[in-house]
Amino acid sequence: MNQPNEEQQPSRALTLQEILANALKSTHTHQEAKAGLETKTCARCGAARPADTALRYCDYCSNPFY
């Protein structure tokens, strides 16, 4: 006959609190990455331009950048 083993515990349903605690414990956090391209914007029209260029005037509205 099948006799219950004293070492084995009957499985029970987990509570929501236990599930959420396990989820928080096992969740990997990621660090925020910075974008590789920095841009500056035209003060007049808001058009973006790469920061590492030597443009003196906006291509859209001809406003001087400097």
Mean pLDDT of 14-28: 89
- What are the boundaries of each domain within the chain? 41-66
* Confidence label for 7 from pLDDT (cuts 50, 70 and 90): low
Percent of the chain with pLDDT over 70: 82
Over range 51-59, report the average pLDDT.
82
Q: What is the DSSP string of 9-64?
A: PPP-PPPHHHHHHHHHHHPPP-PPPPPS--EEE-TTT--EEETTS---B-TTT--B
